[in-house]
Structure 1
Amino acid sequence: MPVNDSLAGHIALVTGATGSIGAEVARTFAARGARVAVHGRSQRTLDELTEQIRHAGGTGTAYAGDVRDEEHLGTVVADVAKKWGPIGILVTLAGGDGAPEPTASLDPGRWRDVIEIDLTSVFLTVHAVLPGMLEHGEGRIVTVASTAGRRPSQANAAYGAAKAGVIMLTEHIAKEYASSGIRANCVAPSIVETATLRTRVPAPQLEAIAAHVPLGRIGRPSDVADAIVFFASDRSSWVTGTVLDVTGGMSL
């Protein structure tokens, strides 16, 4: 069978699915044939997303909860396995924002919160799905970091450190579990026009930012989703431990 980006027959878990990028990933996965379990904070938003997926002919189910809760994540993974089978694709999009803040005034409690939501939650989610992947002999893990984890940026130090940690965690998993049939890759976007961004940044400012992007525009959720699909599909069957900048050239 020719190699393609079909995900038919695969079971995926997408965290952070209440966000613009997570929702786009879930819809894209479902359109390519995957059965998609979506996770996020708002049950109502997740239910609306799964209804969209089903209306388009896909298969989806929703779980609301906290990705920092190890017991909850274990319950989700077990329920998906009981319903459909072991999770073969994991996408970790849950996280907080990196609003600028001087390190000298960054509260230690804020630091711990950011590390928990942006790094520890990724470890806990991967930790929950790995046993099923190991038993099945195959797995595809796609983490989502940020260019803030690649080089210093306007984001606060905690966010940058957390995203850098996500990159190293991904590379570590890739090397440790390659012989077990598990691939782990990371996508590192820059500025993406999400619903949250549009509410926080005035349109004229977004236009000014876009003018400095080599490819001439701010990223779209679909740009990130397409990169994630590549890592989740057979097209990247010989790719692991890779970090892909999705920046419109801003990382040059």
Structure 2
Amino acid sequence: MIDFFSVEGKVAVVTGGLGQLGSQFTKQLAENGAKVAIFARRDRTKDEVEAQFPGLSDRIRVYKSDVRDKDSLIEATDRVIADWETPHILINNAGIDSKPDGDADQNAPFEVYPKKYWDDVIDTNLTGCMLCSQVIGTKMAEAGRGSIIMVGSMYGMVSPNQALYSYREERDGKPFIKAISYAASKSGLLNMTRYLATYWAKKGVRVNLVTFGGVKTGSFDKEFIDAFLERVPMGRQAELEEFGPIVQFLGSDASSYMTGANLVLDGGFTSW
């Protein structure tokens, strides 16, 4: 019996694969037999990889690169191909957002939102996905196969509900606005996905987007969580483990006739 969901023996690249979501994708694929190349801004030794991914360090390697730097992506991709082979799967996961407790200008009202923060987020979240897709997707197209998975957000489908953050102004006495840059970058992935899906369809490279909702991390204020859950039909945040299987599905032959799609995992948030 053929296991269409298998990723055994496939080579995957996960950008930002050491972070919260990225490590979940890395673990999911490696535990199911894939070889995973993590693209990160600094190298990790095999011992460091083993410490983060116990029992999986033979299938996981870290390659130093920056998604904003095409030359570093070319160098890292060439090393992956030399070590293993042309990747079968690319997960464009690396991304940044404004920090709730960082520089106040990161969450300033739109009228005075600094361009430097716009540039930082767009360069990583949108341009970075384009460059990774360009470098690795080209190799996939030459090989006649591949699956590119864009990691999106519900804020790429709907605007951030600023009411969720109103408690911050009441508590801190200054405006707190969820910035435009993150939403703009994630919405841009919608049409980048469709563009590349149609561009490479006849070359055997599939391109799909996964749109995630709120995930339980323990890093949000209780006031935010309470207000957020009132707007989620399922009444809860996602567990990190719930996001891994969807990337395995998209990287496997189970999704072989799927391209240009947007799979939404948000507990129903965008359904209201």
- Please say whether Structure 1 and Structure 2 have the same fold, judged by a TM-score greater than 0.5: yes
How far, CA to CA, are the matches of 1:50 and 1:176 in structure 2?
38
Q: Distance in 2 between matches of 1:175 and 1:101?
A: 38
Which is further off, 238-247 or 42-51? 42-51
Asked if the contact 1:30–1:58 (Cα under 8 Å) also holds between the matched residues in 2, the reply is no
Whole-angstrom CA distance in 2 between matches of 1:47 and 1:97: 30
CA distance in 2, matches of 1:14, 1:57: 15
* Residues 157-172 of structure 1 mapped to structure 2, 5 A cutoff: 157-172=180-195
Q: State the aligned residue count.
A: 248
User: Residue 111 of structure 2 corresponds to which residue in structure 1?
Assistant: 104
Tell me if the contact between 1:149 and 1:165 (Cα under 8 Å) persists in the aligned partners: yes
Structure 2 counterpart of 1:55: 55
Match of 2:206 among 169, 174, 183: 183
Alignment match, 1:229: 248
1:140 aligns to what?
A: 147
Distance 1:97 1:127, change over 3 A: same
Map of 1:1-252 to 2, 5 A cutoff? 1-44=1-44, 48-53=48-53, 55-56=55-56, 59-98=59-98, 100-154=107-161, 155-194=178-217, 198-199=218-219, 201-203=220-222, 205-252=224-271
Deviation per residue, 1:39-93 (Å, 9 max, x gap): 2235459963455546148511012332111111111100000000111100011
8 Å contact 1:53–1:59 — kept in the other structure? no
Partners of 1:5 and 1:32 within 8 A in 2:
no
Q: Which deviates the most, 128-137 or 181-190? A: 128-137
Could you report, residue by residue, the CA deviation over 1:194-244 in whole angstroms, capped at 9, with x for unpaired residues?
A: 3xxx23x13564355335421221012222222211111111111100011
**SS of equivalent to 1:145:** strand
- Partner of 2:60, secondary structure, is strand
Higher mean alpha-carbon deviation, 85-94 vs 212-221, is at 212-221
CA distance in 2, matches of 1:43, 1:134: 28
Taking structure 1 as reference, are residues 57 and 112 closer, same or farther at Cα in structure 2, changes over 3 Å only? closer
Aligned residue for 1:67, secondary structure, equals coil
Q: Does the Cα contact within 8 Å between 1:149 and 1:164 map onto a contact in 2?
A: yes
> In structure 2, how many angstroms separate the alpha carbons of the residues matched to 1:110 and 1:43?
26
TM-score, L = length of structure 2:
0.84
What letter corresponds to residue 209 of structure 1 in structure 2? F
Provide the alpha-carbon RMSD of the alignment: 2.1
Partner SS for 2:61? strand
For 1:229 and 1:135, locate their aligned partners in 2 and report how far apart those are by CA, in whole Å: 23
The amino acid that maps onto 2:207 is: A
Q: Is the 8 A contact 1:40 1:46 kept in 2?
A: no
CA distance in 2, matches of 1:46, 1:124: 27
Letter in 1 for 2:82: K
CA distance in 1, matches of 2:183, 2:91: 20
Distance, in Å, in 2 between the alignment partners of 1:161 and 1:205 is: 22
Give the TM-score normalised by structure 1.
0.90
- How far off is 1:36 after superposition? 0.4
What SS is found at the alignment partner of 2:96? coil
CA distance in 2, matches of 1:224, 1:104: 35
- Structure 1 portions without partners, runs of 5+: none
* Amino acid aligned to 1:34: A
